[in-house]
Amino acid sequence: MCSLQSAILRLTCVTAAVWLAGCSSNPPAPVVDLSLPNENAPAAPAAAATAQTYRVVQGDTLYSIAFKHGLDYRDLAAWNGIASPYRIFAGQEVRLSVPKQTASAAPPATTPQAEPQTGQAVTSGIVEGATTVPLASSASASKPSAFEPVAASPANPPATASAAPAPSAKSAVARVENPSVAAPMPKPVGAAPPAVRPVIAPVPPRPAESAPELNAGGVTWRWPAAGKVVGTFVAGDQTKQGLDIAGRAGDPVRAAAAGEVVYSGNGLIGYGELIIVKHNANYLSAYGHNSKRLVKEGDRVKAGQEIAEMGATSASRDELHFEIRKNGKPVNPLDYLPAR
C-alpha cells in the first residue's frame, strides 16, 4: 500500500515538472493597450495637413477675404490660381494656405501669343500693375509729333475763303467818275462822355488749406478724420489693429491716400460698414464703423476725398476705425500719418 502511494506521488511530481517546463518555454501572449498609440500601426494623416479653406459668400471680394484672415491678397490669388482682376463667386472654396506641392505636378503649359497687329494694345504680362502700350500705326507714324517744329509759312499764302470779295467793275467806275464825292462827316455831339467807373480788381479766392501729408512706403498719407484719437494700435492684439478716431455721426471720413476701392460692404464681422482702399501693390487702408458709404468697389479716389460718413455700426460710439495693412499684415498707422 505504501509503495503504491509512493509511486502515485512520484508520478504526480514528474507530471508537474513537465507542465512547468512547458510553460517556461512558451512566452505569455502579448497584451495591447488600445488606449495608447500603436507605433507599429500605419500613421493616420494628421488633421493639420488638411488645407484650410473658406467658402465665398455674396458680397465677398478677394481683398476682403485676405483682410479678414490677415493674408496678402497676392498670396491668396496665387494659392488659388486666381488671375487679375481677381474675380470670385459665391459658393467658391478659397484655399487659405500654401497648397501641398506634388512631385508629379507638371508645369503649366504656356500658350503662344499671337503677334500683335498694328494699333493693338500690348500688355506687359505682369498681373499686378500691368501697363498698356499702344503700338504705333503706319498712319500715325506719318503724322508729325506735337513737339516737332512747324514748317515755315509760304511767302505768299493763298487767300482764304473768308477774305472780302474784290470790288466789281461797276463800283470801280463809279469811284473814278466821282472822285470828289465823299461820305459826309458826322457832326460833333456836344454831350459829355459818360463817366468812367474805376475798375476794381477782383479779390482772388483764398486757397484751401492743404492738410499735412507724409510720404511713407511710396504712398503720400494724410489723416482720414479730424477727431481725437481714442484708441491706438497694439501689435499682436486682434482687437487693436488700428486707430479709433472719435467724432460725431455724419462727420466726413476721407481717403488717407489716393487709390482704388476694393471693398465696400458690411460682410466683415466687427467692422460694420467698411471700406477698403488699395493704394499700391503693398498697402491697403480700411475705414470701419461708418454710418454711410459714399463709394463703391472699383471707384478711384483721391487723397482727402470724402468716402464715407462717420457712424457707430458695430461700435459703442460714433468713431472711425482706421487700419493700414502692409502685405496683408496690420501696421501702426501712426508710423505713416503726419504728426499733428
Provide the residue-wise pLDDT of the chain in tens; the chain has 340 residues.
555 666 666 666 666 665 555 555 555 545 444 444 444 444 444 333 345 899 999 999 999 999 999 999 999 999 999 998 899 999 999 999 988 874 444 444 444 444 444 444 433 333 344 444 344 444 344 444 443 444 444 445 444 444 444 444 444 433 444 444 455 565 555 555 566 666 666 655 544 456 788 999 899 999 999 999 999 999 989 889 999 999 999 999 999 999 999 999 999 999 999 999 999 999 999 999 999 999 999 999 999 999 999 999 999 999 999 999 999 999 999 999 999 8
Neighbouring-strand partners of residue 94: 54
Residue ending a domain, among 95, 126, 159, is 95
DSSP string covering 107-133, please? PPPPPPPPPPPTT-EEE-S-STT--EE
Residue ending a domain, among 33, 65, 95, is 95
Residue at 320 is within a domain: yes
Residue at 135 is within a domain: no
Residue at 30 is within a domain: no
The burial class, CB within 10 Å (0-12 / 13-18 / 19+), for 314 is middle
Residue at 287 is within a domain: yes
Residue 120 CA to residue 140 CA, distance in Å, equals 13
Question: Rounded to two decimals, what is the model's pTM?
Answer: 0.55
Total domains, the chain:
2
Residues ≥6 apart with Cβ < 8 Å to 216: 335, 336
Per-position b or e across 47-71, b if 16+ CB within 10 A of its CB: eeeeeeeeebeeebbbbbbbbbeeb
Residue at 246 is within a domain: yes
Q: Measuring CA to CA, how many Å separate 31 from each of 24, 28, 38?
A: 18, 9, 12
Residue at 174 is within a domain: no
Residue at 10 is within a domain: no
Cell of 320: 472711425
Domain that holds residue 81: 52-95
CATH of residue 66: 3.10.350.10
Residue at 129 is within a domain: no
CATH of residue 284: 2.70.70.10
Strands (E), 26-159: 53-55, 93-95, 121-123, 132-134
Residue ending a domain, among 61, 95, 129, is 95
